[in-house]
Structure 1
Amino acid sequence: MYDRTSIPARPLERPDVDRIRARPDVESVISLGTAPLDGRSSREPDATKRLVLLTGRTVSALEYDGGDWSSEVLETDADRGDQLRCALDLLYDR
C-alpha cells in the first residue's frame, strides 16, 4: 500500500500528482479529478481528490475528505487492467 503520509493534506494539483507518479514504488496513477457537475468548463484547474494507485501489484484508492487522505486496498496481485477496472468502479459508484 502507498504511504499516504507523503501526500499534502489538501487536494492535489498536477505537479503533486506528477511527483507521486515519479516515485519508484508507484507503477501507475489514475487521477480522478473533480469536474463541474453542470458540464461547463472552468478557468480554474480541477484539483484531484481521488487517486487509484498501482504499487507492488496492489491497487489502492486514496480519497481526500476535506481534512486528510484516506486509503483503501481494492485489489491485490493486480495489474494495470485491474487498476483501470477499479477506477471505473469508483466512478460508477459515486
Structure 2
Amino acid sequence: MELLDPLPSRPLKRADIERLRARTIVDGFIELASREHTVRNDGLERAVALADRTVIDLAFEDGAWKRTVLARDADSQRHLDEALEQLDRR
C-alpha cells in the first residue's frame, strides 16, 4: 500500500513511529504493543493506521511488512474499532 511507503525493513523504532504520525495523510496510528515493549525490545511489529480514510493493519513478519486493508472510507471511530478487533485476534 503506497499510503505508508516506505517502511523500514525492520520493526519500527520510536523515531519511525513519530515520522509516520507526522505525515499529513496519517490521521491515526495505534501501536499494538506497550510503549515499554517497543522501547525495550527491537521495535514495534504490530500497528493499525488510519491513512487517507483507509484503516491498515501493519504486521512485521518474516523480515517484511505485511499490510492488510481493514476498512475504506473510515473515520477515527472505525480505526479504533478495527484496532480493538486486531487485539482480540492476537
- Alignment TM-score, normalising by the size of structure 2: 0.84
3-state DSSP class of the match of 1:33? coil
Gaps of at least 5 residues in structure 2 are none
Give the ranges of 4+ consecutive aligned residues of structure 1 lying more than 6 Å apart after TM superposition: none
- Count residues in correspondence: 88
* Equivalent of 1:54 in 50, 57, 62: 50
User: Deviations 1:61-87 (Å, cap 9, x if unpaired)?
Assistant: 111003100101001111111111111
Unaligned runs of 5+ in 1: 36-40
State the identity as a percent: 38
Task: Please identify which structure carries the higher helix content.
Answer: 2
In structure 2, the partner of 1:24 is 24
Paired residues of 1:4 and 1:69 also in contact (CA < 8 A): no
Q: Could you tell me how far apart the structure 1 residues matched to 2:12 and 2:75 are?
A: 24
Q: CA deviation at 1:34?
A: 6.4
Structure 1 residue corresponding to 2:79, chosen from 83, 90, 93:
83
How far residue 25 of structure 1 moved from its aligned partner, in angstroms, is: 1.1
The question of whether the paired residues in 2 share the 8 Å contact of 1:21 and 1:27 is answered with: yes
- SS of 2:29's equivalent in the other structure is strand
Letter in 2 for 1:74: L
Note the aligned Cα RMSD (angstroms).
2.1
Rate the CA distance shift 1:34–1:88 in 2: closer, same or farther, 3 A: same
Per-residue deviation, 1:88: 0.7
What is the aligned partner in structure 1 of residue 10 from structure 2? 10
Alignment CA distance shift 1:2-1:29 (3 Å): farther
